[in-house]
Structure 1
Amino acid sequence: MTTKDAAILKSLDEQKERQPSKYTTSTAFLESLQEAGVSYIFANLGSDHPAIIESLAQAKKDNKKLPKLITCPHEMVAMSAAHGYAQLTGEPQAVLVHVECGTQNIGGAIHNAFKGRIPVLVFAGASPYTQENELLGSRNEFIHWIQDVFDQRGIMRGYSKYDNEIRTGKNVKQLVHRALQFAKSEPRGPVYLMGPREAMEEVTEPITINTDLWEPISPSAIPPKDIEEIAEDLTRSKKPLIITSYLGRNPAAVGDLVQLSNRLAIPVIESVSNAMNFPADHPMHCGHQWNTAEQNELLAEADFVLVLDSDVPWIPMKNKPSEEAIIYYIDMDPLKEEMPLWYIPSKRFFKADTKVALQQLNEQLNSVQICEETIQSRREKITAIHEENKAENLRLEEPTENVITPEYLSACVREIIDEDTIVLNEGISNYKTICTHIGPRKPGTLHGSGAGSLGWNGGAAIGMKLANPDKTVVSLIGDGSYLFSIPSVVHWMARKYNTPFLTVIYNNTGWKSPKLSTLGVHPDGIANAMDEFGVNFDPPADLAKIAEAAGNAFALTVTKPEELKIALDEAFKVVKEGRAAVVDVKIPTV
C-alpha cells in the first residue's frame, strides 16, 4: 500500500468516525428506559436482539449513559433479580429475554412478580416477519421459523398488567413510558413489550419525552364518612384485632400501623407475611400464621377485625373469625381480581393505599371519645400474651443434642445479623419458623416473594444487593428452593457482578411441603402408612459445592449443633469481606 493510499484510508476512517451514530428503534427503546430511571437490564440475549446489542455497543463507544447490562445465563434468575431490586427500591427494572422461548422460561418468576405486585418491564424480541431480505433484520437463521408463534403476547397475558408490540420507532418511547406507568400504578405488577427484529432495526428520528406526564396514578384514600364509620366501630369494640401480610412493602406504612396499635392497644397478627409489617418485639405483636392447622384464639374472640394488605388473612376451614365479628378490609386490590375463588365476610371493602388510610384513621381517632381504662386493660392482657409467645419461642430455640432444629438454626442466624441486614425468606415448610425466630424489628429488612413459585431467592438476593451494596443480604431457604433457584447461574452472577450474599440452607433432604399437603388431606392414607410420598432427595447432593464450583463461593456443610455458630460466624465474615457464602445445614429429614 502506498503512502497516498494509506492517507486516503485514514481520511475515510476519520469521516466515518465523525458521522453521527445510527439512531434506531432500539436506541430509542434503551433511551426511554434510562429516562424512566431504570438502572439495570437483566438480559438473556438471543438471535432476536442484534439491534439492541448494536445500540448498547454504540452507546459504550460514545460514552452515552444507559442502564447497565447484567448478563443472566438463565431467565428465571434474570426475572428474580429484577424482582428483588424493585421489591427493595420500588423502582422497576428491565428484563430482556429471547422470543417466546425466553418468555416461557420466566414462567415461575413472572408468576411471582405478578402475584407479589412487583413492577418489572419485560421485553422480548420476536421472530422476523420477512424472509427474503426485504428489511434489515430479515430471517437468516433456521430458528426464526421454529420460534415463530401465533400469539407470543398471549403467553404473558395472564401474568402482566399490560402487553403490547413495538411496531415502529416513532412511538416506542410512548409505549415504554405507558407500560411503566401501568407497572408502577397500584396494584403494581409486571408489563410486557415485544418487538420483531425489523422494527427494532428501523432507523428513526430522536424524540423528547416529558416524563412528568407519565407518572403512576396517585394513591387513593377512603371517603371521610367511611373513615368515621370505621373509627366508631373500632372504638366501640372490646376485642379488636389487626391482620396484615404485606403492609410493610411500603416501609413508611409500618410507623402508621404502630401508631394505631399503640393508641388503642390493638394486637397485630401477621398472616403469610412477606414483608416486615410490625416490629416483632412490640408488645402488641401476637405472632405469625402460615398454613395454621389450629384456630387462633385472638382471631376467634375478636369482635372487630381490620384486615390491611392481605391476600390470605386466614384459612377458613381451619382458622377464622367468629360470625359476629365486624370485619373491614383495606387493600390496593380488595376484589382480588386475578383470583377466581376468593371471599371473606367483610362489612366493607376499600380500595385504598394503606398508609393513606392509616393516616386518615389515626387522625380521625383524635376526635373520637375513647375509654382509656378499657385500652389499658387490653394493653396489659395483650402484652402478657406477647410475653408468653416470646417465652415459648425461646424454649423452642434451645439446642438439642445431635439435632439442629429449624428454630435453633434461625436463632443462631438472628445472633449474627444486625438490624440493617436484609433477610430473604423462602423456607416454605419453615417459612413461619423463620419469620418468628428471626423476629425483624426494622421496616424493609425481611422479604418473601409474595407468591408461590420456588427459586426466587437467588436472583432476588443479587437484585437486593445491587440495590443496597452497603448492606448485608442473607437468604434463608429450603434445599428444594435452593435447587429451584438455579444456584450455578446465581453464584456465577454473584461473583461476576460483585454481589456477595450469605445463603443458609434448611436442608431436610427433600420436599417437606408436599408431604404436609398430603397429610393435611389424607392423614390416615396409604402414603402415610407406607411412608411413600415421592419427595426425598436421595442420594443427597453436595449443595454448597455447587456454589463453590460455579462462583467460588465459600462453601460449608454443617451436621452437628456444636459446629453451627462457628460456621455461620465464619461465613458471615467472608460475605462482609466480599465473597458469597453458602452454609448447608442438615436439619431433621422429611
Structure 2
Amino acid sequence: MYTTGTAFLEALYEAGISYIFANLGSDHPAIIESLARAKKDNKELPTVITCPHEFVALSAAHGYAQATGEPQTVMVHVECGTQNLGGAIHNASRSRVPVLIFAGASPYTQEGEKIGSRNEFIHWIQDVRDQRGIVRGYTKYDNEIRTGSNVKQLVYRSLQIAKSEPAGPVYLMGPREVMEEKTEPITLKTDLWQPISPEAIAPQQLKQLINDLTAAKNPLIVTSYLGRNIEAVKELVYLSEKLSIPVIESIPHHLNFPHNHPMHCGSQWNVSDQNPILAEADFVLVIDSDVPWIQMLNKPSEEATVYYIDVDPLKEEMPLWYIPSKRFLKANSYVALQQINEYIKHHCKIDQKAIFKRRKKYSKIHIEQMEEKRHKEQSRTDVITPEYVVACVREVIDKENTIILNEAITNYPAVSNHIRLDIPGSYYGSGAGSLGWNGGAAIGIKLAKPEKTIVSLTGDGSYLFSVPSTVHWMANKYKTPFLTVILNNAGWKAPKMSTLGVHPRGVASETGEYWVNFDPISDLAKVAEAAGNAYPINVEKHEEMKGALQKGLNIVEEGRSVVINVKIPHVYAKDETHIKWEQYNYLTVDNK
C-alpha cells in the first residue's frame, strides 16, 4: 500500500537527501514498513543511519551540512526524542546549518478507528499539548503533516526554508494514523522549490562602503564563518591582498582565511587584553561574525568606522545584541565581496605607496605572531601543553587531505592559532555553545567526505558530552573511522575561568573549589574501545606525543577509529591563563 510514510520518504529522496539519521520508535511503523518494502523492491531511498542517541544524530547531520551545504534528515521519536535532541538543535540553529527534523506523534484515536490507533500505554504518556513548541525557539519553520495529499509539498517547502539564508533547522511531525494513511503517488518538479537567491549590497551603500574603506589608513577585516562558502575565501583573499588589509578571525568555526598568509593576524577568543590591531583600526569591516569582539574587554576605538555585513546583521533571534555600526548590510558574503572587488578593480584609484606600507607593517606583525606561536609550542619536560599537542598534530597530518574539528573549549584558541591551515573546508567548529558536537560531526563529515582523514581535537568535557558510546558504535558500524585527540585536563575549565572573570578574588579563588573536576579520572579512550572497537592510546609524556599521533593516523587509515587521551595540566593547576585572568580582573576591580 502506498502511504503518507512512503510519499514522505520519496520526497526526501527526490529532494536530494542522502541520509536519514534515525532514532526510531513506536510512532514510525509506517516509515519502517515503507523502508522495508523499498529494500525488498530495490527502490532507492535515503540511507538510514541508526543513531542510538538523538544528540549524535543531529550532530552528524550538522557536520554533514557544514561540509557540503546540503541538509540531511534527522528522525526522532515523538516528544521524548525531540527533547533528547537537546543542545544539538541549539547548535544547528546558532551555526545556521540546514537540517530537516521529523518526529512522529502519538496517535489521535484510541478505539481502532484508523490504522495506527493507540495500542501501547506510552501513546497516552507521550501525548503532549504542544510538541512542536519544544523546538520552536530554534527552528525556522515547524508544521504537522495532516494528510498524504500534500506531504511532498510540505517536505519541499521545509527544505526550501531550511536552505534559504539565514539557513537553519526545520521541524515536521506526523501522527501514526496520518503516516499510515493510503494516498496517491504524485510527481512534482523539485527545481520549483529552490532556496531564495543570495542577497547583494544596494549600489549606493556599496559606493559609500568602498569610499570609506579606501579612505582609511588602518582598515581591518574581522570574520568568524565566512568560510562556510569556500568561494568566499578566495574573494576575501583578493580584497585583503589588493588593499593590504589585515584579517582577524574571531572565534572562527570555519577556515576563513589562509593561516600562513602574511595578512592573517591571528584569531581571538575571550581574550582579557585589547587587541592592538583592532584598537588602532580606523575602519572595520565585520563580515559573517556573531561576536566579532568582546565589548567589555576588547573592541575598536570610538572613532573607528564599522560596517557590518551578514545574512542576519541584526541577529533577530538574540534578545541582547548590538555592535554600533555606520551601516548594517544584509547580504551574502560571497556576493558582497564579489561586488566590492569588482568595484575596486574598475572604479577606484589605489594609493600604492600606502598599500605597500601597510603590507610591510602587517607582514611584520604576522611574522612576529608566528614566532611567538612557535615559542609557545616548544616542548616542556614537566607537562604537555595544548600548544605543543596542536603543533604535533600539525606536523604529522597531511594538510591536503585532512579536516580538523575543534571543540577544545578553553583550549579553542590553542587549536585555532596553532593548527595553521590554509585550505578552505579543512577546519570546523560547532559555531555554537552546546558541547558534544565533535563526535557526531566527525561521523557526518566523514560520510560527506569519505576520502578525507578526520581529526577531532576536543576537551575531556566535550568528549563526554558527545555521547562517545553512541558515537563510536556508529563509527564502527558505518565505517566512518576518525582520530580523536582529547586534551584532558580532568575537568571543566570553562566554569572555573568564568568564575574568575567575575569574582577574581572571591571565595572560590581563595579555596580553589569550583566543582568542575573529574577526579577520579576515567580511562576515556577505553570507553570508545568498548563501545566501538576504537583503538585506545593514553599519552602522559611529551616525547610520546608525535609517535602516538603517527600510530593513530596509520590505524585510522586502515579503517579503525582511534582515541588518543592526552594528559595536560589539571583543571585546578594555576597555569598562565589563570594568572592572566586574575591579573586582568584585579586591575579592573581596582580601577572601578
- Name the TM-score, length of structure 2 as normaliser: 0.96
The residue that corresponds to 1:370 in the other structure is 350
1:352 aligns with 2:331: yes
> Which residue of the partner structure matches residue 452 of structure 2?
471
Q: Does 1:67 align with 2:46?
A: yes
The residue number in structure 1 matching 2:359 is 379
2:516 is paired with a residue whose SS is: coil
Q: Please name the residue that 1:396 is paired with.
A: 376
Is 1:189 equivalent to 2:165 in the alignment?
no
TM-superposed CA distance for 1:339, in Å, is 0.3
* CA deviations over 1:248-300 (Å, ceiling 9, x no partner): 01111000000000000000000010000000000000001101111001111
Q: Separation in 1 of the partners of 2:190 and 2:211?
A: 43
SS of the residue corresponding to residue 555 of structure 1 reads: strand
CA distance in structure 1 between the partners assigned to 2:306 and 2:418 by the alignment = 29
| Equivalent residue, structure 2, for 1:119 | 98
- Aligned residue number for residue 79 of structure 1: 58
Provide the C-alpha distance between the structure 2 equivalents of 1:175 and 1:59, rounded to a whole number of angstroms.
22
218-227 vs 129-138, which moves further: 218-227
Other-structure match for 1:557: 538
My pick for the range that moved more, 226-235 or 531-540, is: 226-235
Structure 1 segments of 4 or more deviating over 3 A? none
The match for 2:524 among 543, 548, 566 is 543
Structure 2 counterpart of 1:136, which letter? Answer: I
Partner of 1:137: 116
| Counterpart in the other structure of 2:505 | 524
Residue of 289, 308, 316 corresponding to 1:337:
316
The one-letter amino acid of 2:476's match is: R
Q: What SS does the aligned partner of 1:171 have? A: helix
Match for residue 288 of structure 1 among 246, 267, 273: 267
1:443 corresponds to:
424
Once the two structures are TM-superposed, the CA of residue 363 in structure 1 deviates from its matched residue by 0.8
**Is 1:422 aligned to 2:385, yes or no?**
no
- 2:509, 2:43 → 1: CA distance? 63
Q: Give me the whole-angstrom Cα distance separating, in 2, the residues matched to 1:515 and 1:407.
A: 20
Measured after TM superposition, the shift of residue 164 of structure 1 is: 0.1
The CA deviation at 1:345 is 1.1
* Counterpart residue identity of residue 529, structure 2: E
Q: Which amino acid aligns with 2:94?
A: K
For the pair 1:324 / 2:288, whether they are aligned, the reply is no
1:279 to 230, 242, 258: 258
- The match for 2:496 among 501, 515, 520 is 515
Match of 1:84, as an amino acid? G
Query: How far did residue 224 of structure 1 move?
Result: 1.3
> Of residues 17, 23, 32 in structure 2, which corresponds to 1:53?
32
Q: Deviations over 1:556-589 (max 9, x none)?
A: 0000011111111100100011100000000011
Aligned partner of 1:268 in structure 2 is: 247
Counterpart secondary structure, 2:148 = coil
Q: Letter of the 2:75 partner, please give it.
A: L
Q: Look up the equivalent residue of 2:372 and give its one-letter code.
A: E
**How many angstroms apart in 2 are the aligned matches of 1:212 and 1:475?**
36
Q: Matches of 2:280 and 2:65 in 1, distance apart?
A: 39
The Cα shift of 1:416 comes to: 1.2
**Among residues 484, 489, 502, which one is paired with 2:465 in the alignment?**
484
Q: 1:99 corresponds to which letter in structure 2?
A: V
Q: Which amino acid aligns with 2:114?
A: L
Q: Find the residue that maps to 2:510 and give its secondary structure.
A: helix
Cα distance between partner residues in 2 of 1:210 and 1:565 = 53
Match of 1:100 in 2: 79
Partner of 1:240: 219
* Distance in 2, Cα, partners of 1:485 & 1:226: 44
Shift of 1:225: 1.6
The separation in 1 between residues aligned to 2:382 and 2:51, in whole angstroms, is: 40
Percent of residue pairs bearing the same amino acid type: 69
Asked whether 1:454 is paired with 2:454, we answer no
SS of match in other structure, 1:26? helix
Give how far 1:480 is off.
0.1
Deviation by residue 1:393-419 (Cα, 9 ceiling, x = unmatched): 000000001310000000000111122
Shift of 1:349: 0.4
Aligned to 2:180: 201
Report how far residue 227 of structure 1 moved: 1.1
- Alpha-carbon distance in 1 for matches of 2:518, 2:157: 46
d(CA) in 2 for partners of 1:377 and 1:87? 38
> Alignment partner of 2:87: what SS?
helix
Partner of 1:27: 6
Separation (CA, whole Å) in 2 of partners of 1:378 and 1:438: 26
Q: What amino acid is the match of 1:176?
A: V
Amino acid at match of 1:354: S
Question: Structure 1 counterpart of 2:382, which letter?
Answer: N
Match of 1:110 among 77, 86, 89: 89
Give, in angstroms, the shift of residue 107 of structure 1. Answer: 1.6
Mapped to 1, the partners of 2:342 and 2:66 lie a distance apart of: 29
CA distance in 2, matches of 1:371, 1:48: 67
Q: Deviations over 1:505-563 (max 9, x none)?
A: 00000000100000000111100000000000010000000000011111000000111
Q: Distance in 1 between matches of 2:109 and 2:539?
A: 58
In structure 1, how many angstroms separate the alpha carbons of the residues matched to 2:395 and 2:3? 54
Q: Distance in 1 between matches of 2:546 and 2:288?
A: 36
Q: Distance in 2 between matches of 1:133 and 1:416?
A: 63
Pick from 566, 570, 574: which aligns with 1:585?
A: 566
Distance 1:293 1:37 in 2: 46
Superposed CA deviations along residues 40-84 of structure 1, whole A, max 9, x for unmatched, are: 000001000000000000000110000000000000000001111
Name the SS of the counterpart of 1:158 in structure 2: coil
Task: Give the residue type in structure 2 aligned to 1:529.
Answer: E
Structure 1 counterpart of 2:394, which letter? R
Partner of 1:566: 547
Gaps of 5+ in 2: 572-592
Which residue of the partner structure matches residue 582 of structure 2? none
406, 412, 431: which one aligns with 2:386: 406
Structure 1, 141-150 or 218-227: larger mean CA deviation: 218-227
**1:370 is matched by which residue type in structure 2?**
I
Q: Which amino acid aligns with 2:205?
A: D
* TM-score normalised by length of structure 1: 0.96
Kindly report the root-mean-square deviation, in angstroms, between the aligned alpha carbons of the 2 structures.
Answer: 0.5
- Does residue 434 of the first structure (1) align with residue 415 of the second (2)? yes
Whole-Å separation in 2 of the counterparts to 1:580 and 1:296 = 39
Q: Give the partner amino acid of 2:118.
A: R
Following TM superposition, by how much is the alpha carbon of 1:499 offset from its aligned partner in structure 2, in angstroms? 0.1
Other structure's SS at 1:344 match: coil
What are the residue-to-residue correspondences of 1:154-233 with 2, within 5 Å? 154-233=133-212
Distance, in Å, in 1 between the alignment partners of 2:501 and 2:230 is 35
Matches of 1:251 and 1:406, distance apart in 2: 28
